[in-house]
């Protein structure tokens, strides 16, 4: 009786905990890249579940069929040679599973590295996302505005993030829009995303970067293109300009709230020269180099 009540208590407690859990963000995609990632996760889970069920089923069968039984004292079990069919099956099935998962992984990797499907013919919104201890700086070169620790993006438009760091290596990650990618101090890495559902999403640094790592987060709000354009105009009209002195203060280690500026730090402090685009085309590389050259010219004029 005591064992029965203990078991029931464990089951009830487990159900209570699970009932209070929020859905995993990576399994609640709001964009095509995140949906591809979520599909790969579900395929992997289903494949592993099939293997686990099959293994435990075979284990139960073997335990039952070959359980101990009373035999005569002179009983001698028969000598059984290896079964070629069984040996072929137990070798072939793992190979098939590995090949299947490898194909799914490689295919999905190329998909998430490229411009999201359905957006190939649209001009992407370019955002330079740079990190420092322990904050995120988002520069919109075409809109000529910059934000700190929050990101506004339009829906139904490709997004091209150009990532780099002013400190240790960090990892840019918006779970509901796509996978993470590293930001480094000596090169730019490119991440392609798109948001198809308006709403607020969480972004963070997914790579340990010191004592302030836990709060190295940012808020993302996806909105209609019309609302985004209105926000851009409001920032240009009302926000204070970002100066070199102010940006130097922002780079000091520490945490900050959400800040908004007209102008970007790219005007006086251009991004790194190195680029890594994955499977992206050469047009983005040309655009990035063009932005870098413009930044150098502005920097020289500023001096």
Instruction: Give the pLDDT band of residue 12 (cuts 50, 70, 90).
Output: low
Strands 181-183 and 170-173: antiparallel
Mean pLDDT of 33-50: 95
Q: Which of 62-71, 154-163, 252-261 has the lowest mean pLDDT?
A: 62-71
Q: Which of 5-19, 54-68, 114-128, 199-213 has the lowest mean pLDDT?
A: 5-19
Scanning the chain, the segments in alpha helix (DSSP H) are 2-19, 32-65, 84-113, 225-238, 244-250, 282-302
What was the pLDDT predicted at 191?
97
Query: What is 125-302's CATH superfamily?
Result: Cupredoxins -  blue copper proteins (2.60.40.420)
What was the pLDDT predicted at 156?
96
Q: Between these two residues, 94 and 20, which has the higher pLDDT value?
A: 94
pLDDT tens digits, residue range 129-154? 999 999 999 999 999 999 999 999 99
Instruction: Give the pLDDT band of residue 23 (cuts 50, 70, 90).
Output: low
Residues contacting residue 237 through CB under 8 Å, at least 6 positions apart:
none
Decide if pLDDT at 39 tops 60: yes
Q: Distance between CA atoms of 131 and 136, rounded to whole angstroms?
A: 5
Instruction: Give the pLDDT band of residue 1 (cuts 50, 70, 90).
Output: low
> Is 129 in a helix, a strand, or coil?
strand
pLDDT tens digits, residue range 170-196? 999 999 999 999 999 989 999 999 999
Cis peptide leading into residue 134 (ω within 30°) = yes
Cβ pair 204, 217 in contact under 8 A: yes
Domain limits, the chain: 125-302
Q: What are phi and psi of 159, to 5 degrees?
A: -120, 135
DSSP 264-287: -GGGTSPPPSEEE-TT--HHHHHH
Decide if pLDDT at 50 tops 90: yes
Q: Distance between CA atoms of 85 and 200, rounded to whole angstroms?
A: 55
Q: Give the predicted TM-score (pTM) of the model.
A: 0.78
Decide if pLDDT at 244 tops 80: yes
Percent of the residues in the chain that have a pLDDT greater than 70, as a whole number:
83
């Amino acid at each position: 009786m005591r064992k029965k009540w203990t078991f029931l208590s464990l089951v009830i407690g487990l159900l209570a905990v699970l009932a209070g859990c929020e859905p995993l963000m990576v399994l609640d995609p709001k964009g095509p890249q995140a949906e591809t990632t979520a599909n790969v996760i579900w395929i992997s889970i289903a494949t592993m579940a099939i293997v686990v069920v099959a293994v435990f089923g075979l284990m139960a069968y073997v335990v039952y069929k070959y359980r101990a039984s009373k035999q005569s004292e002179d009983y001698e079990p028969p000598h059984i040679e290896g079964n070629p069919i069984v040996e072929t099956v137990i070798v072939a099935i793992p190979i098939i599973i590995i090949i299947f998962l490898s194909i799914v992984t490689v295919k999905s990797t190329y998909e998430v590295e490229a411009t999201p499907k359905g957006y190939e013919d649209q001009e992407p919104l370019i955002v330079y996302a740079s990190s420092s201890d322990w904050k995120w700086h988002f520069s919109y070169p075409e809109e000529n505005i910059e934000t700190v620790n929050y990101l506004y993006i339009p829906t139904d438009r490709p997004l091209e993030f150009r990532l780099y760091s002013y400190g240790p290596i960090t990892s840019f990650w918006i779970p509901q829009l796509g996978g993470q990618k590293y930001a480094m101090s000596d090169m730019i890495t490119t991440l392609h995303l798109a948001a198809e559902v308006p709403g607020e999403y969480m972004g963070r640094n997914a790579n340990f970067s010191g004592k302030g790592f836990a709060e190295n987060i940012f808020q993302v709000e996806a909105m209609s293109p019309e609302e985004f354009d209105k926000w851009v105009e409001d920032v240009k009209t009302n926000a204070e300009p970002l100066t070199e002195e102010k940006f130097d203060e922002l780079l000091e280690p520490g945490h900050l709230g959400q800040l908004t500026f007209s102008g970007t730090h790219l005007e006086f402090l251009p991004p790194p020269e190195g680029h890594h685009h994955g499977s992206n085309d050469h047009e983005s590389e040309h655009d990035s180099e063009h932005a870098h050259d413009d930044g150098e010219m502005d920097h020289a004029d500023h001096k």
